Structure 1
Amino acid sequence: MREREINLKYIVLQGLYWMLYCVGAGFISFYLQGNRFNNSLIGIVTAIFCLIAVILQPIAGNICDRIEVLTWKRLIIILSIPYIIICIMMLLIKNHWTVAILFGLMYIITSIYLPLINSALFAYEKEGISINFGLARGCGSATYAILALVIGNLALNHGTNIIPVGGLIMIVLFLAIVIMMPATKKVTTKRDEERTNVIQFIEKYPYFSLMVLAVLFMFFSHNIVATYLLQIVQSLGGNSSNLGKAMFIQAVVEIPVLFTFSYIMKKIRVESLMIIAALGYVLKAVMYFSSVNIAMIYITQLSQICSFAILAAASVYFTGMVVDHKDQTTGQAFMSGMVSAGTVLGSLFGGAIIDHMGMRAMLTVNIFITVVGLFIAVCSVRLIRGRKKCEGV
């Protein structure tokens, strides 16, 4: 009974988190464009705050691993206070640069939440409670899809204010379920066994770090499109409503993969799934390049099935497989930090390329990025399998 209850609450936790993420990250370009930022400035502003998120995610994860009294649950509750204040200030302040800074802070906090709720999965499993992560993450995609469609349509009538209002509603609901989640115990270590710091972590897990680099390129591709999806849609004659529909489609098609991910892992090794995800991003990049109207953009969103849908779950389990339990929060922070790192690269390069060379050039560069990510992922998996053979595993 307790396992079923925790699974249900974890499903709701993932669902509300991805609704929160939809508000704080899914409409970056819409929000900044609505506050008089051009493509290059959108890229620079987004990149700055994503870079801060990249730096803070592993640091926050490592602090959570190293400080005994600071659990994933307590850190989320602490960070919810500034998030609420930021949303209220975004409604009251009209200066576009100040509002952009506040939006960036909202994004940073949202990003830090992700490794914390992912590490909660392994914290519960350490206590003997089996969590169906695929089902929970699939529900996250479903709620993301619904909210993307709602916000995309509401934005036509209510403008950018829909973002902080949506953020306030989502953070209150998210905080409520976090408080309701049972507390988990920290992993204790012997006195002579020190926790691994960030630098030691990279040295301790070189093959994992190589896969993290591959994931960086995958999310580089993911975010160079996601950040400027509005501009892609507009270049084909669409608007924010079409953006919301495109986001709805790509989130909905993830659901079957994520719901059945536990079964998929029984058939395909998790490291092989990482390679499949990399191949999926190559396919997705080619399809975006080939799109000539809104209908083709909608069709392209179906490629989410073999790209992000697989990566979203496989990366979490890959980290759980390669990284020791006592370093899990740090490992999850490094992996999820690639979302923000990819947004940094995607924002900077995407905006500059669109403004100076055009949309076609940006979509061409995107194909090259995915090929590099695929190559690194293959190298990482071959090295990991070679090491296992040497160790006789």
Structure 2
Amino acid sequence: MKDKKINIQYILLQGLYWMMFCPSAGFISFYLQGNGFGNSLIGIITAVFCLVAAILQPLAGNLCDRIKILTWKRMIILLGLPYILICIMLFIVKERWLIAVLFGLMYIIASIYLPMINTALFAYEREGVKLNFGVARGTGSAMYAIMALLIGNMALRFGTKIIPASGLIIMVLLLCVVSTMPHTKKSVFESDEYRQTNVISFIRKYPYFSIMLLAVLFIFFSHNIIGTYLLQIVQSLGGNSGNLGTAMFIQAVVEIPVLFTFSFIMKKIKVGNLMIIACAGYILRAVLYFVSINIGMIYITQLSQICSFAIMAAASVYFTGTAVREEDHATGQAFMSGMMSAGTVLGSLFGGGILDYMGMRALLSVNILLSVIGTGIAIWSVRMMRINKRFRQV
């Protein structure tokens, strides 16, 4: 009975988190464009926010690992309060640069939440509670899909104000769910080696895992060149924010079958191979975007999410849980999600410049190259980990 209740709560937590992440990450271009920013400025602003998020994620994870009273649950509640205040301020503030800063803070808080929510999975499992991560993450994708469709269509009527409004409502619901979830105890380790691991020494402690982090950086560089500028891609083919919402809905919906069956998939395919398959899926995705000539083909391209992000979203969590020790789980999850944010930095920063000065075809060509490099590094990482006896389960 206890397991069932916590599973339901964790499913709700994942669902509400991805609903919250949708407006702050999926509609960055729409929100900044609607407040008077051009492509290059959108890229620079997004890059700055994502860089801060990439730095703060491992720091926040490390704090959770090292400070006894600071759990994943308390971190979520502490960060939720300023998030609510920011959403309220976005209804009042008129200065466009201040609006950009506040929106960036929304994104940063949402990014820091991800490693905390992933850490909760392992925290409960340490206490004997078996959580079905695939179903929970699949629910997250379903909720993201619904949110993308709603925001994309409501934005045509209500404009950019729909972003802080949706963020405010969802955050309140998320905090209600988190507050009802049982507290988890931290593991106690006797060795000073475990207690003294910090962010810098983490990379030295896990060199093979760090190679995979580099692969994830390239893959999410590719992922976010498309994600940040999907609105511009859609507009270049004659579409609008409604088409953007539909495209995001499709890509989120097709993730659901993979995520719901991920526990079964992991029994058949090693997690290291799943990481490689996901990276290869990004090559397919990049090629399909390159050859798309109308909105219909963009919708078809979104189906490639099945073999790219859908696998990466779950496999990266389990890969991290396998490759790092228990006492470093929050730090490891934070590094993994931090690389995803760092990929957004690069995608936003370089994507806007490439788009403005070289055009859409150049942007989509670079996207293919990045996915190929990322896949090559992922293969190298998994091979090195398997040579090392400690990582045979990868």
Shorter-chain TM-score above 0.5: yes
Q: Structure 1, residues 300-346: CA drift from partner, whole Å, max 9, x if none?
A: 00000000000000000000001001000000000011221111000
In the TM superposition, 1:35-114 aligns within 5 A as 35-114=35-114
Q: 2:270–2:393: 8 Å Cα contact kept in structure 1?
A: no
Letter in 2 for 1:267: K
Q: Distance in 2 between matches of 1:180 and 1:389?
A: 38
Note closer, same or farther for the CA distance 1:192–1:370 as it changes in structure 2 (3 Å cut).
Answer: closer
Q: Structure 1, residues 47-90: CA drift from partner, whole Å, max 9, x if none?
A: 00100000000000000100000000001100011101111111
Q: Distance in 1 between matches of 2:322 and 2:247?
A: 34
- The answer as to 2:186 corresponding to 1:186 is yes
Residue number in structure 1 paired with 2:269: 268
Q: 2:386–2:392: 8 Å Cα contact kept in structure 1?
A: no
Shift of the alpha carbon at 1:35?
A: 0.5
In the TM superposition, 1:288-299 aligns within 5 A as 288-299=289-300
Letter in 2 for 1:88: I
Letter in 2 for 1:228: Y
Note closer, same or farther for the CA distance 1:268–1:240 as it changes in structure 2 (3 Å cut).
Answer: same
Residue number in structure 2 paired with 1:346: 347
Q: 1:53–1:111: 8 Å Cα contact kept in structure 2?
A: yes
Name the SS for the 2:388 alignment partner.
Answer: helix
Note closer, same or farther for the CA distance 1:46–1:328 as it changes in structure 2 (3 Å cut).
Answer: same
Shift of the alpha carbon at 1:137?
A: 0.2
TM-score, reference length from structure 2: 0.98
Q: 1:65–1:326: 8 Å Cα contact kept in structure 2?
A: yes
Letter in 2 for 1:231: Q
Name the SS for the 1:186 alignment partner.
Answer: coil
Q: Structure 1, residues 90-114: CA drift from partner, whole Å, max 9, x if none?
A: 1100111100000000100000000
Shift of the alpha carbon at 1:187?
A: 1.1
Q: 2:385–2:391: 8 Å Cα contact kept in structure 1?
A: no
Higher mean alpha-carbon deviation, 339-348 vs 292-301, is at: 339-348
Note closer, same or farther for the CA distance 1:318–1:98 as it changes in structure 2 (3 Å cut).
Answer: same
Residue number in structure 2 paired with 1:282: 283
Q: Distance in 1 between matches of 2:323 and 2:22?
A: 29
Q: Distance in 1 between matches of 2:275 and 2:192?
A: 36
Note closer, same or farther for the CA distance 1:133–1:391 as it changes in structure 2 (3 Å cut).
Answer: closer
Q: Structure 1, residues 139-175: CA drift from partner, whole Å, max 9, x if none?
A: 0000000000000000001000000101100100111
Q: 1:270–1:314: 8 Å Cα contact kept in structure 2?
A: yes
Name the SS for the 1:94 alignment partner.
Answer: coil
In the TM superposition, 1:112-131 aligns within 5 A as 112-131=112-131
Name the SS for the 2:70 alignment partner.
Answer: coil
Letter in 2 for 1:106: M
Residue number in structure 1 paired with 2:385: 384
Shift of the alpha carbon at 1:24?
A: 1.1
Note closer, same or farther for the CA distance 1:150–1:172 as it changes in structure 2 (3 Å cut).
Answer: same
Which ranges of structure 2 fall in alignment gaps of 5 or more residues?
A: none
Q: Distance in 2 between matches of 1:316 and 1:392?
A: 15
Q: Distance in 1 between matches of 2:83 and 2:31?
A: 17
Q: Structure 1, residues 17-37: CA drift from partner, whole Å, max 9, x if none?
A: 000000111100000000000
Q: Distance in 1 between matches of 2:108 and 2:187?
A: 27
Letter in 1 for 2:60: A
Q: Distance in 1 between matches of 2:102 and 2:209?
A: 34
TM-score, reference length from structure 1: 0.98
In the TM superposition, 1:10-21 aligns within 5 A as 10-21=10-21
Residue number in structure 1 paired with 2:144: 144
Letter in 2 for 1:256: P
Residue number in structure 1 paired with 2:213: 212
Shift of the alpha carbon at 1:200?
A: 1.0
What CA RMSD, in Å, does the superposition of the two structures yield over aligned residues? Answer: 1.3
Q: Distance in 2 between matches of 1:176 and 1:218?
A: 34
Shift of the alpha carbon at 1:192?
A: 3.4
Q: Structure 1, residues 271-324: CA drift from partner, whole Å, max 9, x if none?
A: 000000010000000000000000000000000000000000000000000100
Name the SS for the 2:204 alignment partner.
Answer: helix
Q: Distance in 1 between matches of 2:197 and 2:307?
A: 34
Name the SS for the 1:227 alignment partner.
Answer: helix
Q: 1:53–1:108: 8 Å Cα contact kept in structure 2?
A: yes
Name the SS for the 1:355 alignment partner.
Answer: helix
Q: Distance in 1 between matches of 2:372 and 2:301?
A: 18
Shift of the alpha carbon at 1:389?
A: 8.1
Shift of the alpha carbon at 1:390?
A: 9.7
Q: 1:65–1:195: 8 Å Cα contact kept in structure 2?
A: no
Which ranges of structure 1 fall in alignment gaps of 5 or more residues?
A: none
Letter in 2 for 1:196: T
In the TM superposition, 1:22-41 aligns within 5 A as 22-41=22-41
Shift of the alpha carbon at 1:195?
A: 3.5
Residue number in structure 1 paired with 2:242: 241
Q: Distance in 2 between matches of 1:10 and 1:128?
A: 15
Name segments (4+ residues, structure 1) moved above 4 Å: 389-393
Letter in 2 for 1:39: N
Q: Distance in 1 between matches of 2:188 and 2:255?
A: 37
Q: Distance in 2 between matches of 1:180 and 1:322?
A: 31
Q: Distance in 2 between matches of 1:176 and 1:338?
A: 29
Q: Distance in 2 between matches of 1:355 and 1:208?
A: 36
Q: Distance in 2 between matches of 1:373 and 1:213?
A: 8
Higher mean alpha-carbon deviation, 382-391 vs 184-193, is at: 382-391
Q: 1:47–1:345: 8 Å Cα contact kept in structure 2?
A: yes
Count of residue pairs brought into register by the alignment:
393
Q: Distance in 2 between matches of 1:388 and 1:39?
A: 48
